[in-house]
Amino acid sequence: MSDKEARPENDLPLDEKVVEREVEVQSTTTSQDNAILEGAVTKTYARKVKILNDELGRIGMGWYQWRLFILAGIGWTADNFWATLNSQAVYQVGLEYNVPTTQLPWGSMGLAIGLCLGAIFWSALSDLIGRRYSFNITLLIGGIVALIAAGSPTFPAYCVFVTFIGFGMGGNLPIDGALFLEFLPGDWQWLLTFLSVWWALGQLLVVLLAWAFINNYSCLSADNCPTASNLGWRYLYYIVGGIALLMAAARVAFMKLNESPKFLLAQGKDEDVVKLVHIIAITNGKESTLTVEDFNKNGEVDSSGGEELGNTVTKSEKGGNFLKRYSLQHITPLFATRKLAINSSLIIFIWFLIGLSYPLFGASLPLWLRLHNIDSTESIEQTFREYVGYAVLGIPGSAIGAYLTTLRIGRKGALGLTTILTGVFIFLFATATNNSQIVAFNAVTSVTSGAMYGILYAYTPEVFPAPHRGTGNGLAAAANRIGGIIASIIPMSSAASFNTTVPFWVSASLFTLSGILAFFLPVESRGRTSL
């Protein structure tokens, strides 16, 4: 017996008492949070997923997950291609086709509409037929349509092609995150936050390419802007589309993608789960003792959605109408209990608010910087140089976000803190009176928003159980895109939108509100392995 076991609690040193109480409180909190989420799944699935999580934890992090980190990462890189690409190219497209500045946000709106529809479609599909199909197809569609968009003959055609890019890529980020999460050991789930470093790299790559091509192969005025002298934006779309296609090919060549073990478990395919766990173990240089019997003794999972949840799903519904299956099986469980309904509603609303506030600031920033150089000696090249700096700062922002999620403030605290700080520094940006202040406040905003997005993209899939994770992620992403659509309408309402800092004040207020709401989320995912 150890000294600690031999002594009564009152005889323990103060620091040991504090540690024990912290562990006890954290364990109780984790248990309560698990109970909230388990209300969305059957008891059989909950027991089986615990067996799976324990085995993945025993095998640990290894080459299998690191390869998937790279494959999911390039998807997140590509996801940030398109919004950044449109924001950098649309001004030149407008000059070529003599489009008024107030009409340029049609490009952002088209992208947001496509992303919204794509988020709903691909994410729902991932809960119905599996993650890996959407994982591969979305990236391929984005690359192909980007090559077509490079040849846009008119501005409306450009907007249509951008919409199709959005539809193709709409489910990419939420599905990639869900798939990666479902292979991770519980104590490595913080890595999902750090996955957002790839998202920052996507922005940086496009900005660097825009600096090279739009800065050197573009016209300066709509009065003299024939296609031959304005090829920079077209080159940009060709190159970025080609990179996306290479990324899609890399996913096929670099790793044979297996279906998510938690999706398979939710479908009642215990034998396939066992085979996959053994593949993971062998790839990681370990050995697994998991057998089908370990799952069988807990009964069969009802893949129809779960009779224990009160859902009555007929055989015709199981194999039939897509929308009926989507609504009956995967939406209602996300609101199965009071606290779960509050958590799902709040996180979806927070996504909406951020989707409304971020474009008002980030997506409009390149146009605003071009039209409002406080320092009259500022050149377009200098603007690009600063924009590259902002993109670079998103990388340490992701790392900071990943670190914050491991602290005692938890995922909710880290999300609330970084979101409020983002709002604060946008407030300060709106009050800037010289170029140095603009650069400084923008720089800090890049760090805080990078951390915020990393935490948001990690917390969201963690608080949706695997059988309904794709749908939950899709609803959150769709809400985010609806916010983006609304944000695109605001600049089109008045030419004065780009001549004032009002959009930045609104953006800052919405970020601050989002951060406050994050503290009221009932579920804390830190210290809890995802279901």
Task: Report whether 375 contacts 433 (CB < 8 A).
Answer: no
pLDDT value for 134: 80
Tokens 């606290």 — which residue? 339
pLDDT value for 105: 80
107-116, 339-348, 355-364, 416-425: least confident range: 355-364
- Residue 389: phi and psi, rounded to 5, are -60, -40
pLDDT value for 26: 44
pLDDT at 270 over 80: yes
Task: Report whether 523 contacts 36 (CB < 8 A).
Answer: yes
pLDDT in tens, 188-242: 998 988 988 998 899 899 999 999 998 889 888 878 888 888 999 999 999 999 9
pLDDT value for 362: 65
pLDDT in tens, 455-511: 998 899 898 888 888 888 889 988 998 998 888 777 665 544 555 677 788 889 999
Q: Is 163 exposed, middle or buried (0-12, 13-18, 19+ CB in 10 A)?
A: buried
What share of the chain in percent tops pLDDT 70?
81
Quote the CA–CA distance of 145 and 138 in Å, as a whole number.
Answer: 11
pLDDT at 363 over 60: no
Quote the CA–CA distance of 460 and 457 in Å, as a whole number.
Answer: 6
pLDDT value for 318: 43
User: And the tokens for 167?
Assistant: 């539809």
Quote the CA–CA distance of 263 and 269 in Å, as a whole number.
Answer: 9
Q: How confident is the model at residue 63 (pLDDT cuts 50, 70, 90)?
A: very high
pLDDT at 313 over 70: no
pLDDT value for 27: 44
Q: How confident is the model at residue 8 (pLDDT cuts 50, 70, 90)?
A: very low
Most confident of the following: 42-51, 137-146, 310-319, 508-517: 508-517
Alpha-carbon torsion 43, 47, 49, 53, what sign? positive
Q: How confident is the model at residue 338 (pLDDT cuts 50, 70, 90)?
A: confident
pLDDT value for 502: 74
Domains and their CATH numbers in the chain: 63-260+329-518 (1.20.1250.20)
pLDDT at 310 over 70: no
Q: Which residues contact 146 (CB under 8 A, 6 or more apart)?
A: 81, 82, 85, 165, 237, 238, 240, 241, 244
pLDDT value for 528: 80
User: And the tokens for 291?
Assistant: 């057998």
Q: How confident is the model at residue 38 (pLDDT cuts 50, 70, 90)?
A: low
18-32, 297-311, 378-392, 494-508: least confident range: 18-32
pLDDT at 529 over 50: yes
pLDDT value for 9: 43
Query: Angle, nearest 10°, between helix axes 105-128 and 63-96?
Result: 150
Give the mean model confidence (pLDDT) for residues 118-141.
84
Task: Report whether 130 contacts 259 (CB < 8 A).
Answer: yes
Task: Report whether 339 contacts 303 (CB < 8 A).
Answer: no
Task: Report whether 516 contacts 445 (CB < 8 A).
Answer: no
How many Å is the Cα radius of gyration of the chain? 24
End-to-end Cα, the chain, rounded Å:
36
pLDDT at 305 over 50: no
pLDDT value for 527: 77
Q: How confident is the model at residue 372 (pLDDT cuts 50, 70, 90)?
A: low
Give the mean model confidence (pLDDT) for residues 430-434.
79
176-180, 299-303, 477-481, 511-515: least confident range: 299-303
CB atoms near residue 98 (< 10 Å): 10
Tokens 């934890």 — which residue? 57
CB hemisphere CA count around 528 (13 angstroms): 28
User: And the tokens for 468?
Assistant: 């309904």
User: And the tokens for 471?
Assistant: 């749908």
If one compares 422 and 87, the residue with the highest pLDDT of the two is 422
Quote the CA–CA distance of 175 and 76 in Å, as a whole number.
Answer: 10
132-146, 258-272, 485-499: least confident range: 485-499
Give the mean model confidence (pLDDT) for residues 418-426.
95
Quote the CA–CA distance of 347 and 344 in Å, as a whole number.
Answer: 5
Q: How confident is the model at residue 342 (pLDDT cuts 50, 70, 90)?
A: very high
Amino acid identity, position 7: R
Most confident of the following: 32-36, 135-139, 272-276, 323-327: 272-276
pTM: 0.81
DSSP 8-state assignment for residue 362: I
pLDDT at 448 over 60: yes
User: And the tokens for 164?
Assistant: 């199709």
* Torsion-angle region of 423 (φ positive above 0: left; ψ -120 to 50: alpha; else: beta): alpha
On average, the pLDDT of the chain sits at 81
pLDDT value for 328: 56
Query: Angle, nearest 10°, between helix axes 63-96 and 172-181?
Result: 170
Query: Angle, nearest 10°, between helix axes 43-59 and 270-283?
Result: 10
